[in-house]
Every structure is written in structure tokens, then in C-alpha cells.
Chain A
Amino acid sequence: MTTTSGTLPTRIPARRRLGLSRREAIVGYTLLSPWLIGFLVFTLGPMIASLYFSFCDYKVIKPPRLIGLANYQRMLADDLFYKSLTVTAKYTFASVPLGIVVALFVAVLLNQRIWGVRVFRTIFYLPSVVSGVAVSLVFAWIFNYRFGIINFVLGLLGIRGPDWLGRPAWALWAFVLMSLWGVGGNMVILLAGLQGVPVSLHEAAQIDGASAWKRFWSITVPMISPAILFITIMSVIGSFQVFTQAYIMTGGGPANATLFYLLYLYRNAFNWFEMGYASALAWVLFVIILACTLITMRGSQGLVHYEGA
């Protein structure tokens, strides 16, 4: 019998190994953490703070003091609140449908197989990435009633152009026209939708004798309806958040004709020491946007076609 000498082999405990799903989760959350932390710090945190401030008399330079629902009650009797809401609602009702129609029209044109179409797509998209301040300054000139290009062109047609930004009756409509500058973003989404419409559907309809308009209305529009719904919702949200243009071009004037909701909110917060009231305004805006989105979603049922649904 032989004996072995030396140390007995000791059993080294296997290193605890994490399960695959757990490792994946850690990696996932690690990759997610910059956004998550950013969201919590810069979005959720301020949101919670603003909700609290909305129940406070908060002058910014003095600690907030709880006053219950007084800020919300005050809104009910605030003429400027209604004025800013009316201005913004008018703008939304005018600019959103107009913007969608124009974006769709441009997208259809840029979906044609013509020479240089990629260049045109780029050109049409470019304006939507230009800074809002720069665009506002340029449009202040475009709408200049003496030297602006719009009135110059109208003059060539024998029409005396209005004082776009100087008259209460015209100022808001100038902003509606200006909103078309940013249709490039929506155009790209619709263009992607148009390119996803199966050619075979159009060919079949063509064989059956459907006209171009009939094919557009009965095939193209239903097929891109999810994209239309998406840009409708996003445009409505965006239209309630107009600020830069009004701040730069008119300051809310003349006679509050361009007093957009966000501009009024800003003035309360930073010009008039009413951060508590401004926070309440922000939460009311949140509720309005949420309601508009839900109404749009509900209203779209039966109108939006989801493939495979």
C-alpha cells in the first residue's frame, strides 16, 4: 500500500457565479444608469419639487410657504391665464392641422423617384435643426412689415401686406405661418411611413382601376395613419410649449396677442416672483396636454390602421 504524502488536495470553493439573467440585468442597468440618473435628477426631481411649490407661496428668493390650493383657485379668476390659454389653443388648432397637411404634402413629393431627391430631403429637413433663437430673429425680419420678404412678395402681387407683428389681429397668425418652418421633422417621419407602404397594394388597386387620389386616400393614408397619429400627438404637445418665438419676437405683445401659455408661466416665475403660481400653471399645462393626448388617442380609435391588428 502506498501512501501519498504531502498536503491533501483541499477543495477550493467555486467562485460564486452570477446567473446569466442577473449579469444581464446589471449590465443593462449600468448602461441605463446615465439616463436614469439624469431623468431622476433633472426631470423627476424638479417635477416633484414643482408639484410641491404649486401648493406654496414661493417668491424664489424666500423659502416657500404652504398655502394649499390657493394658486389653483387664483387661476380661475386670472384674466391673463385665460388669455394665454386662448392664444395657445388658437395656435394649436391652426398650426397642428396645417403643419401635418404641409408635412404630408412635402413627404409625398419627396417620396417620388426623381433626380436629386436625397438632396431635397436634406434641404427640407435642415430648418428643423436650426436654433429657435436664430429662426426667431430671421422671422422677425421676414415679417417686417416694411422690409420683410413676405410683404415684398405681396407687394409684387399688388397687395399691401399687414403689419404682421405690430397688429394684434395679425401677430398670432404670423406665428402660425412661422410654425411651417419646422415641418421637416414631421416630414421625415411621414416619409418613413410612406416608404413602408407595400407597392403591391398600389399595384393591385391600379389594376382594379383606382385613381391616384383614391389610392392615396384609401391605401396610403390608412397605412401611414400610425405615423400621422404620432406626429399629431407630438405636434399638439409642441404647440402648447411655444416660448422662444414669442419671447424673442414680440414679448407676448402687441396687447397680449401672442401671450403664449409658457411665456405667461415664465413671467410669473422669473419676472414677478410668483414661482408657486408658475408651478401651478405648469401642472395645469401638464393636465391639459395629458387630456389632449388621451382625447387624441381615444378619438383615433377606428381611424388608425395597425398592420396585423
Chain B
Amino acid sequence: MSTKREVSRREFLRMSGMAVAAGVLGSCAPKAVPTQAPVKETVVVKETVVVAPTAAWETGEMSILLCCSGPEEQAAKQKFNERFAQSHPGAKVNQEPMPAGQNYFEKLQTVIAAGTAPDIYDMWEGYIQPYAKNGALVNLEPFFEVDTKMKKTDLWPGVLKSVTWDGKLYSMLIAIMPGPVSVYYNKKLLDAAGVAYPTNDWKWDDLRAAAKNLTVMKGDEPERYGLVFDNWFVPWLYWIWSNGGDVFNQDETQCVLTEAKGYGALQYWADLVVKDKSAPTSSTQQAMQGSINMFKTDLVAMYLGNCWDLAALKDAATQGLNWGACLAPKANDGNRTFYQHTWCWGIWTGSKKQKLAWEYVRDFVTEEQMITEFNTFQKAFPAVKALLHTFLTKETEDLGWAGVVDIMGDPNQIRYPGAGAKWDKISTMFQAEIDLVFTGDKTAEQAAKDVCPKVNEELART
């Protein structure tokens, strides 16, 4: 006779726990990355299996993750998606926009880890190398090699480094822009102070002198500042590089900010805040709701700003702000090297529609209508040389941005910092010390001496 033993509470708990844990582990296990069967036309690139685009594209729904785009830009992209679907029977594009200010890369990493990433996603400079290195971006070289509609040579050669890892292209460039591109100036305030409008030929000393003249003091505090600039790595790289300095040596193994040209540039610009008091501190900017807001509200006369500020400034113009713009000034020795902002598309290695995704990114960057519309939102320099005319309009000429053409052709005038996946962390290490320079708590030379050993350690870490 069989007896059934009563299950104890402990056993019940143990069994429940094991069952749930098994379920959790099963459901949390990363989904197998779908790869194409290695057939004849398959090209194996490191860990990534890429299907060379010899056959027609895959059909079905393709997903796209958008970062930081406004409703108008999303609508324009949606219209492109419809055109793309028409020209690619059987294909459908589903775009998922993320509102500006959301943690885009946190989301992207999570969906990649979960094996549910979109086929195509927004990328930009600084992220391509770490994503490529970790196998999350498709190598586009095989696609370029066999594509009949687009060649790699269609792109501006001087700016390809930002989307290159290990000598291969891992993202499709949409557009590029120097940063910080412009000095925006308030014509009314400059006229009132009798200061000449800045030009593309201005040097730092010209801007500094104008900033001093435009600063209005009330007691020992400025009531109006001559100039405002953000304190993050884009402006300070532009200062350091333009002055002939750098943050890393050639092979990116050592921090070289300790060289006089590097820290000297930082000290020069910090002196505008600390000594001249013609530029506000970061906390003053924060108090005034940001640098561009200070410019829009007449609290500063000039603003060292970005290409994406254009829409807000055009809006401010409709409310009476009379402003002009020119390219950011050259260093006193006449050199000027910008930071390279890059908009691009990445294709996920786990995508089952890599051919279709390639068709999409290729058509996106080469379609005149799309790039023209993109320019109305981001105002950036098209990556495809043949579409230069979409950028060179009367508006860009008035902004002094026609000079960007020369910059794009010269790698010495536009670059990005390097250090690959480590740049984000290293930039915060630099920033912590540079903060102290701009509050007057340290000299730039001391800050450089303090930060470089830490940066070297980080660069050496495998």
C-alpha cells in the first residue's frame, strides 16, 4: 500500500522557489541572436555574421528606434518610411521615437542585452566604436562593396573616422556638424555698445575683447555678460585642439593635457569667467535656465553655441530677438579645430532584416527630399557629397556656415576625441578637474597635472 507523504511547508517553499527560479532563468536568458544560415554569400566579420546583400531584401516589418527627435522630425521620417515601403514591396517600417531627455542609450543597451533590439537605431559619434567592438553593430563594408547605388566614396572622406572601428565602417553617416559651430550675437546689444559684429575671421582675442566691452557690471556682479559658453567636452576640446594641444597622444595611450598648449587653452577661457567676469559660471547658467536662455533673454550679448540651437533662435527671432551668427573664432595663432558631431544609423547584428535595413539607411542618406527635410530640423552638413546643395542655402550663408565646406574637407579642422569606449568615462574625469578651473579653485596647469595620471591609468586598463 502506498502512502502519500504530506508536503511540508519547507518543501513547498523550496519547490515553489525552484520552479519560479527556473522560470525566471529561462525567461531572462538572452534570446539567441538570430543569424542567417552561413550560405555561399555569407561574409563572416569577427563575431558578426553578415549576409552580403546579393539577393533582394527581406520582407516584413522592420523596427527603428529614434532618439531625441521632435514631432515634426518624426513626422518627416514617417513619411520617408512610407515612401520606402512603397519602393520596397512587402516591407513595412515601424519607428519607435523616444522623447528628448529620455535615457536613450540605457534603453538601447537593455534591448540589445535582451535580444529584442530594433533592426536600425540612431547612433552618433563616440558610441560607434564601443558598440562595434561589442558586436552590436553590423559592419557595412560588405554592403558598400556590392551595392550598385552607393559607394563609400560618395561620403566625405575626412569625417569617416568617427564611424570607423578596426578600419571598417560600422554606421551609415547621415550628417555632420562642427561643434561649437557658431558665435551667435545680439545685434541690438552690440550696436548699443558700439562693438563690431563678429566675423568668420575673428580670433579668440577679438572675441574676448568684445566680451569685455559688452559686459555690464552692477556693483561687483555682472548685470549682463558679454559671452556665454557651455562647460562640457565639446567646447573644451575645440579650445584645446584649436590651440594646438590635445588630450591624448597619437596612439591614445597617454594623457597630454599637461602640455602648455592644452592647459593654456583651458586657462584662457576660464579667465573669461574667473578674471574678466565677462562670462557666467556654470551655476549662473543653471540659475538662468541654461546658456541659450540667457542669450534669448538679453542677459548675454554673445553665445558660443551649437547647430541645434538654430530652431530655438529662429523662434526667438519671431519674438523680437535680432541676432546674427558667424563661425566660432580661430585660436590666436589662426588655427581652428572643431569637435565633430555626427548623426548616423546603426544596424543591429541580431537583425533578421539586414539587407532591408541596409536599403533603408542607404536610401535615407541619399534621398534628396529626406536630407533636405532633415536639414530643416537639425541643420547639419549632409554626409553624402552630392547633396551638399541641400545645406548651402542663403540661410547657411547668412550664418557664415558656408565655411563648413572647407572644414569638412580637412581632417585637421574637424575631429573627434578617440579613446573609443573609454571616452565617456575619461571625459567625466577631465570634466571634474575642469570644473575647478572654471570656479577658480585650481589653475588649468594644476588640474591637468592632477587628472592626467588618472586618465593614464584608465587608458592602460584593459
Contacts and interface: CB of A to CB of B under 8 A. Distances in A.
B319 interface: no
A61 B283 contact: no
A253 B131 CA distance: 27
Given A270-B105, A273-B134, A60 B21 contact: no
A140 to B, nearest CB: 8
Given A63-B30, A165-B286, A41 B113 contact: no
Contact of B435 (A41, A140, A146, A254): A254
B93 to A, nearest CB: 23
A42 to B, nearest CB: 9
A161 interface: no
Q: Is the interface of B mostly helix, strand, loop or mixed?
A: helix
Nearest to A45: B24
Given A145-B283, A272-B424, A40 B24 contact: yes
Contact of B287 (A41, A147, A270): A147
Contact of A255 (B21, B425, B432): B432
Contact of B281 (A77, A80, A163, A273): A163
Interface in B313-327: none
Interface in A129-148: 140, 144-148
B282 interface: yes
Contacts of B136: 61-62
Interface residues of A, number: 42
A100 to B, nearest CB: 31
A254 B112 contact: no
Interface in A245-270: 252-256, 267, 270
A270 B103 contact: yes
A61 B28 contact: no
A49 interface: yes
Interface in B139-178: none
B436 interface: yes
Interface string B268-311: 00000000000001111011100000000000000000000000
Contacts, number: 107
Contact of A29 (B16, B286, B422, B439): B16
A39 B3 CA distance: 34
A166 B461 CA distance: 32
Contacts of A25: 9, 12
Given A59-B134, A145-B283, A165-B283, A273 B421 contact: yes
A271 interface: yes
Interface in B14-29: 16-17, 20-21, 23-25, 28
Nearest to B103: A270
A177 interface: no
Interface string A81-106: 00000000000000000000000000
A241 B17 CA distance: 28
B282 A166 contact: yes
B238 to A, nearest CB: 21
B406 interface: no
Given A62-B134, A273-B130, 13 more contacts: A29-B12, A40-B21, A61-B131, A144-B287, A165-B286, A166-B439, A167-B439, A252-B428, A254-B436, A255-B436, A270-B105, A271-B425, A273-B134
Interface of A: 22, 25, 29, 33, 36-37, 40-41, 44-45, 48-49, 59-63, 74, 77, 79-80, 140, 144-148, 163, 165-168, 252-256, 267, 270-273
